[in-house]
Each structure stands twice: as C-alpha cells, then as structure tokens.
Structure 1
Amino acid sequence: MTQNDSNLLVEVSTDYYIDGKSKVEIARDRGISRFQVARLLTQAKDQGIVRIEITPPRVDGERGRRLAERLGVREVLVAASGDDTVTTRENLATELAHTARRHITEGSTVGISWSRTVEAAVRHIGKLPSCDVVQLVGALPVEGSGNSLGLINTFAQMPGVRTWPVWSPLLVADAATAAGMRRQPEIADALARADHLDVAIVAVGHWSERTSTVFPQISVEEQQAATAAGAVAECSGRLFDAVGRPVRTSLDERVVGVTLEQLAATPEVIAIGYGSAVAPGLVAAVHGGVATTLVIDDAAATALEDLYRAD
C-alpha cells in the first residue's frame, strides 16, 4: 500500500466516523462510488486504522479505587450488572477486553484460561500486538458455549500472534492419565511456558454447582470431598480455600492445566468474577496471589463492600 492509499483510508474514515458524513456524501465529494467508500471503510477496520470500541457504562471509578485499596490489588474495575446472566457476562467481557488490551504489549507472553466471559471478551479484543498466547487449561465443553480449544484457535487467526495450545480435556479420568497428558511434548511445552507469563487472564468461580463450570463435571463424592477440605472457589480447575491456599484433592490430580503457583508467579493476573456469591473467592484469590487486577460486576462489588463492612 502506498502512502497515498493510506492517506485515503484515513481521510475517508475521518469523514465518516468523525465528521459524520454519509457514504453518499463522501463518494460525491471524492468522485468515487459509495461502494468504494464502503470497501475503504472495511479496509480501514481490517488494517487497524479504525478501531471501534463499545464500552458499557461503568460504576463510579472512585468505588473501584476504594475496593482496590482495601483489597490490596492494583486495580478493580466494576462493570454494570445486567438484568440477566448473559447481559452481565457481556458487560464484563467488554471491560475485560479493554483491560487486557492495556496490559498486552509487543512481545508479551499471555496466558489465557477459559470461561464463558473470557470467551466473549475475545470478540471485543480486536487486533493485538505481536505476542505469544498460551492456553492455560485443557478443553472444558459447556452446553451453549465454546471451550478453551476454540478460544486458542481464535487467537491463532490473529496476525502476529503465536499460540501454544493444550490438546487435552481439562479433566481426565484419573491421575495417571493426567500425568501422561502433561508429559506429551506439545502440552508440556505450553504448560512450561506458564512459568514465564507476563499477563494471565483467568476467571474465579464460587465453588458450587451453579457458579462453577468444574463443579457439575465431577462426582458427588468429589464435590463433597473438596468442600470438606475447605474449597470456597476455583480458578482454571484449581481449588483454593478462604485464605487462598491450594486445596489438594483427587480432583487436583486429574486437572491438565496451569497451577495456582504458576499464576502466583505471574506479574499481572487479570481475574474476572461476577455475582455476590463469588466475593469470598475473589478475596481468597487476592490473598493467594493469583489476582492482581479484578474485573467484577456491581453485585460482586457490593458483596465485597459488605464483607469489609462486617470486618
């Protein structure tokens, strides 16, 4: 593309997006067809000249700053709770995408766990600088949504982004099978890269049937054993207690994915969570060192405030 071509893309985009001219007006002023204008606008978006960002209204930023100070994290970003779970996730996803773009820089090694919200955030993340994206957990198909393999493939389509997939389920039948999967060269390479992450993006879920994607996948006996051992929350298939200590059960031995210790060694961990039930898990994640930035909804923020008022 010549400099003149680049200038034309910038000028047409400015006419349309900044000055509010219609495609017909731009076509008339520049002596081209409106179909050519439409192609130029599409080309400008494809090349990153135009980036469109949709951000839902945020709760007062002062509220997030107070929570961050009380929790001892770098940042707390509070998105609006929706009328239903889908809307809440979408609001969080938009905020998560915005936050991730601020932290992912040229040459970064980025770890991506999976959740419905993380998956939705990728639709809003747009173009990334050249970086490595490491899949942090094996696949966990959930009805009505994708999984971590589909997520890593989305990143693989982005120019300049190298990906390191984990070709395994998140949960396998027994500890021996999990150990064998972790020894597979491609999987071992991906999980080893989790030792050297610059940024990780994860989800924290309250340990219950309705609020954890892992809980419904295991037996009643395993559910009860984990709860009895003190589990209050899970992140990437790993369980931890109210003060952020890992909870070791037979479930932990069957997980193919990042460890809590690897996340705790990562300089920037962006953790998302929503709903009032997740508040103790978010506090525990911070205490355990597996969250440095929180992206939460209004309900989770209110529950956190209630916890600290009780203290």
Structure 2
Amino acid sequence: MSESRETDPSPAPIDKLLAAAVARRFYLENQSKVDIAKAFNISRFKVARLLDAALAHDIVRIDITVPAEIDVPLSQALTERFGLRHAVVVNLTSGEGGVPAVGDAQQVSRWLGTAAAQLISEIIEGDDVLGLDGSRSVEALSEAVARLPSCDVVQLTGVHGQDLANDTVVAAVRRTAEAGGGRAFPLYAPFALPNAQTASILRSQPAIAGTLDRFGRVTKAVVGVRAWEADRSPVYEALTDQEREMYRASGACAEVAGQLFDAAGQAVPMRLNARTIAISAAELRRVPEVIGVSGGERNAGAIRAVVRSGLLTGVVTDATTARRLLGDEGVDEGADDVSRARGAKVVEAAG
C-alpha cells in the first residue's frame, strides 16, 4: 500500500504527548521515521513535523559540545600499572574551550560522568545488571548516557535528601534504565537511619527488599570515590562526633558507596552499617566489574587508597590525579599490591 502525502498542516497547539513520544523513539531509541510512522499509524511527513515541533516547543533540547580530551597514554599507563581492565583519563587542566579547570569540582564531576557514560555504553551487555551509587559523577553519567543495551539498573545506596521519590540518585537510576529500556530498581529509603531497628524495619518493606535482593545480581557497578572528610562524605555527615573520632583513629580516608577504606586500601569495619541502607562491602567486592569515578586534588588520596584495595576493575579520573597516582606508586609495587588485593576479592567472592 503506497503512503499518501499529508497536505494538512500540523494542528496548533501541537499534541505534546505525541511529539514527545515520537522524539523519544527518534533521538533516544534510534528508530527511523518510517518505523515510527508505522508504530503510530501516521505518515513519515507528520513524524518529521512532530520532530520539528518538539524542538520548537522546547520538548527536545540539543546541545552540541566539544568533549574533553581523553589522555590515551595516561589511560594505558594506569591500566598497566594497577592491572585494571579499564582506565579513562580526561584532560581537564586547561580550563579553556568549555573544558573546566580541575579546581571546579562540580564541572569536573560532570566531565568525568560523561566519560564514564561512554565507557559504560561500550562495556554493558544485554544480560548485565548495572549498579549505581549516589555520587555526583553517577548523576552526570545518567544525564550523558544516550543508549544502552536493555539491562536492569539497581540503586546501591539510599538517598541523602528529604524527598525520597524525587532524589537525584533515584532520578539517575530511572534515567539510566530508560536509556536501555530496562527496569529500574530504586531505593526509596534514606541512606542513614537513627538506629538499627528502624533500618531493619525499612529493609523488610517489599519495595526496598526487592531492590536489596538485586545486589547479588549486579554484574557491573559505577561508584564515586570520595575523600572521607566534612562536607565531602555522606558517611561523615551520618556519624556522631564520637564515631568520627573512632573511624579517624582507624585511618579512614576514603569512601565508596557508603563503605570506608584506609590509606593501605583496607576496609574499615563500620558499626554504622547496622543503620544504613546500602550495599555492603562484601557484596560490592563480589561484583565482577566495579568502575570508580573521581577526580580533583582533594580526592587524590582517596582514589589511591581504593585502587590499592583491589575493589576497582576500572577508573575514570582526570589527568592531574592520574599523574599523581602513577608518581606516588613504585613501579614494581603498584600492580603487585593491587593484584594481591584483587586476588583476595576473588577468594572472598568464591567463599
């Protein structure tokens, strides 16, 4: 049956729901105008008009940006030194041409999140289950990722704000799942509760328990790496002064998905876990691939510690931090120490 050309103009105002649905299939799902026309029983010419209208009515916004430069030699050097599967080093040193200087923490997180989105797009497969924590870089990843194979996306840590349903990490999990048409498993629960009993009651709630049960199925995870200090760490903010002193005395310097590590890369035992809603250190170590995302001068020591722990199989960071990591580790000891730590991770997972 031949397609008839429509001669009537698009109605005004436009059908915004239809325009949004057409735009989503075209821009996010990469469907052709012909396929979209068949799906909605309209002509391809109307599809074209709806796409134009979606732009004109600000339903779709297109930003054309020049991506930050990836430093391939530094990326390769990190991979080889620490025995990583993946390393992406973004050059953020110039502060020119739309690329932020390293000192701009918010913009650094955005560029690193964009690089992490590209990495995840390349390594995720259809049978994967992707875990995301509540870091700023993961939020940026969710905004940058355009398309993924259909996979489930699981929230690994509870929220830190008051609006549980609309928290940024919940939104990030939803957006990332939508990029692949997979299922989202958010955690509508605070990260830290007043006491262990309250946390236990929340964990038993069906919606929350359903997400917690998914932790053991996560095959790839993206987590932020933070320095453990005031105004930088959700764990720090959740502790009493006495608890902070206790963990400081234990050498805590880095935080990943609500877990603490000392400078040697050893996990710091935490009584706080009894009243938090988050993936445990043991569960995180059982995830086959964990990508750590972090950069900036204040987080350099934290990244170094978590790399030494053997928890990470991949790193996304900036060039200045990468050079610091390579310069601070001895050529012989870096990969050997991480390999031993990763071997311990494998043994623990097997057990």
TM-score range, shorter chain: 0.7 to 0.9
User: SS of the counterpart of 2:212?
Assistant: helix
Which TM-score applies when normalising by structure 2? 0.70
Instruction: Please tell me whether residue 36 in structure 1 is matched to residue 57 in structure 2.
Output: no
**Equivalent residue runs for 1:37-76 within 5 Å:** 39=52, 56-76=67-87
Q: CA deviation at 1:38?
A: 5.0
User: SS of the counterpart of 2:183?
Assistant: strand
CA contact (8 A) 2:109 2:294 kept: no
Equivalent residue for 1:15? none
User: SS of the counterpart of 2:214?
Assistant: helix
Query: Which of residues 140, 144, 148 is equivalent to 2:169?
Result: 148
Query: Which of residues 128, 143, 151 is equivalent to 1:131?
Result: 151
Deviations 1:250-284 (A, max 9, x none): 32322211112112111111110111332332233
CA contact (8 A) 2:143 2:172 kept: no
CA contact (8 A) 1:168 1:181 kept: yes
User: SS of the counterpart of 1:92?
Assistant: helix
Q: Distance in 2 between matches of 1:195 and 1:267?
A: 11
Distance 1:106 1:241, change over 3 A: same
User: SS of the counterpart of 1:209?
Assistant: coil
Q: Distance in 2 between matches of 1:223 and 1:259?
A: 19
**Equivalent residue runs for 1:145-294 within 5 Å:** 146-155=167-176, 157-158=178-179, 160-294=181-315
Deviations 1:104-133 (A, max 9, x none): 221321111111111011111013221111
CA contact (8 A) 2:146 2:179 kept: no
5+ long unaligned stretches in structure 1: 11-31
Q: Distance in 2 between matches of 1:3 and 1:85?
A: 53
Equivalent residue for 1:101? 121
Deviations 1:21-63 (A, max 9, x none): xxxxxxxxxxx79x73953997xxx9xxxx9985623242111
Query: Which of residues 105, 109, 122 is equivalent to 2:142?
Result: 122
User: SS of the counterpart of 1:166?
Assistant: coil
Between 123-132 and 212-221, report the one with greater CA deviation: 212-221
Q: Distance in 2 between matches of 1:241 and 1:199?
A: 24
Equivalent residue for 2:9? none
Q: Distance in 2 between matches of 1:122 and 1:203?
A: 13
CA contact (8 A) 2:151 2:181 kept: yes
Instruction: Please tell me whether residue 79 in structure 1 is matched to residue 100 in structure 2.
Output: no
User: SS of the counterpart of 2:329?
Assistant: helix
* Paired residue type of 2:91: A
Q: Distance in 2 between matches of 1:270 and 1:293?
A: 4
* Paired residue type of 1:135: Q
Distance 1:121 1:54, change over 3 A: farther
Which TM-score applies when normalising by structure 1? 0.78
* Paired residue type of 1:161: G
CA contact (8 A) 2:71 2:319 kept: no
CA contact (8 A) 1:264 1:288 kept: no
User: SS of the counterpart of 2:152?
Assistant: strand
Q: CA deviation at 1:213?
A: 3.5
Q: How many residue pairs align between the two structures?
A: 281
CA contact (8 A) 2:224 2:292 kept: yes
**Two-structure CA RMSD over aligned residues (Å):** 3.4
Q: Distance in 1 between matches of 2:300 and 2:264?
A: 12
Q: CA deviation at 1:292?
A: 0.6
Q: CA deviation at 1:159?
A: 6.2
Equivalent residue for 1:113? 133
